[in-house]
């Protein structure tokens, strides 16, 4: 187990290194000279431009610029926002809890819908409920979540008046209002993941239901519910955990659009606002932190996989 | 002779695909979307860009089947022309992704060693950045327009093709005919291109079809955020962006472009699923 985890941790180091090069490289795609953008009205003054270039190490070679940048990143310094003049890391720390709350709720919604639907589909393989679950899953995969969000606002907020159409209230302020403002976005965000989880669960359950231990459990006279949940689903849960973790990227991508539709001041909205304000350090910071989160969460899923899998645990 | 022809893998796959009515329905729907996109100037009842101040936000009627927008433009005509942006974004970005990913995957799988390690780690790094966030960042740095959105989506999708192509190459390279091709003295590039490449086409084709569906949603997403097709040119995503401001007064503005995206993406997903089942029945 230790060697497995050691290998996984060793693998993510080069991945994160390459991610940092990729994110640093984005800056090179930027049209024009960053110093000119930052100088504002003083862009005509060569001394101001030279001073900015020296401060940001823009007058050095690319490898040196990278080393300077990564050195700062490793100390938690992601640079300053060009638009609001606030440290990027501080901005991200403000926005991250909002997205994590939304993402966490969306994941609960996805599991609550996707896993039971996948189990039902597998148990009724090629039957009516299998087709229904597959059709709903395919529809979920084909629906752009921002459109689903707009349609739900139209139906639930505008026509029925049940939930607020937009905004966000932190749970520390008023947990009921917080739930009311996040339940619809969480459903929208969880929808696509639910469809993917449904497919993974169906596939893993089909394999589990064909296994000898399930036949043995049935032969022992156990009830069908117990066989499905206690024996098949328990074994199918491992691939579901691993494959589900890979969808965290879909969750983070979806958060950008969901936060935009529901005006939620999270991580996703921050990157979109930064794009329109040409606030490139924020764009870079968000991409870097998102990738880091994705890699770390996948590592946690791997650790969980080892913990729940006795064969790997003893190895 | 006939027996041989009927049992060829390609024919079997074709028969399996045609035996799935929903996949065939998806293919027909894609055909219709292609026709609509190609013949948009002939099919659209009005000019999609010309504004009319006397027809602002009119509900669907016989004159305007899908109503008019906030500038008095016919929504049906804009949905018809929007098909062009979406279909083009789907096909072009997937072509870019396959153009980068397939050769890289073929190289990694065939060459092995350091080449494989380096390319695989680079793919891991790109896959660590969530697809849409990477596409948004690329579109932001490149500048917001449809061409850059297609490049951003294509580059962000390329790692998925690389993974599929690499896995299929490793699988194909272990076959006897590849050993035989090497044994008779074929140079490595010839073995890769003539003997392995044709055998990795099926999984790449499945990936390609499903990737077009993702690319259409990605283009709509970028246009919705204002990073894709720029106004006044129509695109389903940018139409939805504008529709958000008039949800209470003109809900039809949000319904029709969204339905178009849903049906188009659903068609590609149906065909992709059908192809996967037909080409690899084990996954059914």
Residue-wise pLDDT tens digits, B2-30 = 445 556 777 888 888 898 899 999 999 99
| B146 is a domain residue | yes
Nearest chain A residue to B250 by CA: give it.
A154
Residue A17: list chain B partners with CB under 8 A: 125
Asked if residue A312 has pLDDT above 70, the reply is no
Q: Chains A, B: CB contacts under 8 A, how many?
A: 143
Asked if residue B97 has pLDDT above 90, the reply is yes
**Are the CB atoms for B165 and A284 separated by under 8 Å?**
no
Residue B136: list chain A partners with CB under 8 A: 256, 271-272, 275, 283
ipTM comes to 0.89
Distance of CA A226 to the CA centre of its chain: 33
B21 touches A: beta carbon within 8 Å: no
| B159 is a domain residue | yes
Closest CA to B99 of B158, B42, B150: B158
**Are the CB atoms for B87 and B215 separated by under 8 Å?**
no
Asked if residue A34 has pLDDT above 80, the reply is no
- The mean per-residue pLDDT over the stretch A43-51 comes to 84
Closest CA to A168 of A178, A158, A183, A154: A178
Q: Extract the tokens encoding B143.
A: 């500048």
Task: Report the distance separating Cα A75 and Cα A91, nearest Å.
Answer: 16
Residue A284: list chain B partners with CB under 8 A: 137
- Residue A87, φ and ψ in degrees, nearest 5: -60, 135
pLDDT of residue A310: 66
Å between B246 CA and nearest CA of chain A: 10
Task: Report the distance separating Cα B255 and Cα B252, nearest Å.
Answer: 5
Half-sphere exposure of A8 (CA within 13 A, CB side): 17
CA distances in angstroms from B237 to A271, A281, B7, B177, listed in the order given: 18, 27, 45, 48
Other CB atoms within 10 A of residue B200 CB: 24
Q: Which residues pair with A87 in a beta bridge?
A: A80
Q: What percent of chain B stands above pLDDT 70?
A: 96
Nearest chain A residue to B284 by CA: give it.
A203
Nearest chain A residue to B272 by CA: give it.
A138
Residue-averaged pLDDT of chain A: 86
| B50 is a domain residue | no
| B5 is a domain residue | no
**Are the CB atoms for A275 and A7 separated by under 8 Å?**
no
Residue B130: list chain A partners with CB under 8 A: 249-250, 252-253, 290-291, 294
**Cβ within 8 Å, pair B217-A144:** yes
Q: What is the pLDDT of residues B52-90, one digit of tens each?
A: 888 889 999 999 999 999 999 999 999 999 999 999 999
**Are the CB atoms for B275 and B17 separated by under 8 Å?**
yes
Q: Which of B139, B143, B243 sits opposite A150 (nearest CB)?
A: B243
- The mean per-residue pLDDT over the stretch A203-210 comes to 87
| B102 is a domain residue | yes
Residue B133: list chain A partners with CB under 8 A: 252-253, 256, 271, 286-287, 290
Asked if residue B251 has pLDDT above 60, the reply is yes
**Cβ within 8 Å, pair A291-B128:** yes
Query: Which CATH number belongs to the domain containing residue B265 in this structure?
Result: 1.10.3720.10
Structural domain including B97 reads 10-45+76-278
Q: Extract the tokens encoding A97.
A: 């809890």
* Mutation target among A142, A149, A257 for the B interface, most CBs of B within 10 A: A142
Q: What is the pLDDT of residues A237-283, one digit of tens each?
A: 777 777 777 777 778 888 989 999 999 999 888 888 888 887 888 98
B25 touches A: beta carbon within 8 Å: no
Task: Report the distance separating Cα B118 and Cα B124, nearest Å.
Answer: 10
| B71 is a domain residue | no
pLDDT of residue B281: 55
Task: Report the distance separating Cα B267 and Cα B261, nearest Å.
Answer: 10
Element (H, E) at A255: helix A248-261
Which residues are CB-contacts of B262 (< 8 A; sequence separation ≥ 6)?
A139, A142, A143, A144, A147
Sign of CA dihedral B190, B192, B195, B197: negative
Closest CA to B69 of B80, B81, B57, B79: B57
Task: Report the distance separating Cα A95 and Cα B98, nearest Å.
Answer: 36
Distance of CA B45 to the CA centre of its chain: 27
Residue A260: list chain B partners with CB under 8 A: 224-225
Q: What total number of domains does chain B contain?
A: 1
DSSP assignments along chain B, one per residue:
-HHHHHTSHHHHHHHHHHT-HHHHHHHHHHHHHHHHHHTHHHH-SS-SS---TTSTTPPS-SSSTT-B-TTS-BHHHHHHHHHHHHHHHHHHHHHHHHHHHHHHHHHHHHH-HHHHHHHHHHHHHHHHS-HHHHHHHHHHHH-SSHHHHHHHHHHHHHHHHHHHHHHHHHHHHTSHHHHHHHHTT--HHHIIIIIIHHHHHHHHHHHHHHHHHHHHHHHHHHHHTTSSSPTTS--HHHHHHHHGGGTTT-THHHHHHHHHHHHHHHHHHHHHHHHHHHH-GGG-
B134 touches A: beta carbon within 8 Å: yes
Q: What is the pLDDT of residues A127-182, one digit of tens each?
A: 999 999 999 999 999 999 999 999 999 999 999 999 999 888 988 888 899 899 99
At residue B44 the predicted structure's pLDDT band, cuts being 50, 70 and 90, is very high
| B68 is a domain residue | no
Task: Report the distance separating Cα B157 and Cα B105, nearest Å.
Answer: 13
B199 touches A: beta carbon within 8 Å: no
Task: Report the distance separating Cα B236 and Cα B146, nearest Å.
Answer: 12
CA distances in angstroms from A101 to A165, A273, A304, listed in the order given: 18, 20, 21
**Cβ within 8 Å, pair A26-B141:** yes
| B63 is a domain residue | no
């Amino acid at each position: 187990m230790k060697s497995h985890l050691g290998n996984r941790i060793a693998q993510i180091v080069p991945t994160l290194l390459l991610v940092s090069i990729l994110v640093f490289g984005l800056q090179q795609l930027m049209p024009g000279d960053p110093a000119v953008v930052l100088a504002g009205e003083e862009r005509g003054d060569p001394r101001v431009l030279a001073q900015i270039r020296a401060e940001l190490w823009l007058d050095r070679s690319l490898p040196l610029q990278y080393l300077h940048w990564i050195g700062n990143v490793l100390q938690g310094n992601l640079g300053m926002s060009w638009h609001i003049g606030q440290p990027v890391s501080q901005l991200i720390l403000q926005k991250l809890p909002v997205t994590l709350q939304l993402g966490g709720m969306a994941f609960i919604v996805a599991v609550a819908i996707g896993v039971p639907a996948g189990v039902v589909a597998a148990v009724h393989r090629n039957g009516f409920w299998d087709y229904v679950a597959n059709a709903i899953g395919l529809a979920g995969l084909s629906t752009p979540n921002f459109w689903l969000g707009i349609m739900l606002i139209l139906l639930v907020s505008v026509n029925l008046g049940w939930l607020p159409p937009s905004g966000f209230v932190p749970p520390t302020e008023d947990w009921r209002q917080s739930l009311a403002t996040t339940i619809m976005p969480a459903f929208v965000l969880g929808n696509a993941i639910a469809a993917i989880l449904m497919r993974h669960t169906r596939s893993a359950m089909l394999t589990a239901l064909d296994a000898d231990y399930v036949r043995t459990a049935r032969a022992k006279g156990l009830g069908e519910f117990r066989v499905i949940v206690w024996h098949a689903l328990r074994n199918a849960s491992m691939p579901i955990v691993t494959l589900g973790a890979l969808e965290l990227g879909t969750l983070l991508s979806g958060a950008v659009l969901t936060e935009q539709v529901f005006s939620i001041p999270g991580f996703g909205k921050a990157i979109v606002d930064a794009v329109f304000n040409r606030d490139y350090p924020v764009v870079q910071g968000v991409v870097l932190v998102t990738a880091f989160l994705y890699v770390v969460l996948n590592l946690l899923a791997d650790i969980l996989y080892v913990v729940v899998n006795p064969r790997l645990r003893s190895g | 002779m006939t027996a041989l022809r009927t049992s060829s893998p390609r024919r079997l796959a074709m028969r399996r695909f045609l035996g799935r009515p929903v996949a065939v329905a998806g293919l027909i729907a894609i055909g219709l979307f292609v026709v609509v996109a190609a013949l948009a100037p002939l099919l659209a009842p009005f000019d999609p860009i010309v504004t009319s101040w006397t027809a602002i936000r009119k509900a669907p009627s016989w004159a305007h089947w899908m109503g008019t927008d906030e500038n008095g433009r016919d929504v049906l005509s804009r949905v018809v022309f929007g098909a062009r942006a979406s279909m083009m974004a789907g096909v072009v970005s997937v072509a870019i992704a396959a153009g980068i990913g397939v050769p890289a995957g073929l190289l990694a799988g065939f060459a092995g060693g350091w080449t494989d390690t380096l390319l695989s780690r680079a793919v891991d790094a790109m896959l660590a950045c969530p697809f849409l966030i990477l596409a948004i960042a690329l579109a932001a740095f490149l500048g917001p327009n449809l061409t850059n959105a297609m490049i951003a989506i294509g580059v962000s999708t390329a790692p998925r093709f690389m993974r599929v192509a690499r896995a299929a190459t490793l699988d194909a390279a272990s076959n006897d005919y590849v050993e035989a091709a090497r044994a008779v003295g074929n140079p490595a590039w010839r073995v890769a291109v003539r003997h392995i490449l044709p055998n990795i086409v099926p999984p790449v084709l499945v990936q390609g079809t499903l990737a077009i569906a993702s690319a259409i949603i990605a283009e709509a997403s970028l246009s919705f955020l204002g990073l894709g097709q720029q106004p006044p040119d129509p695109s389903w995503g940018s139409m939805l962006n504008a529709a958000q401001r008039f949800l209470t007064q003109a809900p039809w503005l949000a319904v029709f472009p969204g339905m178009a995206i849903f049906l188009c993406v659903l068609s590609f997903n149906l065909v992709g699923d059908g192809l996967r089942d037909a080409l690899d029945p084990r996954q059914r």
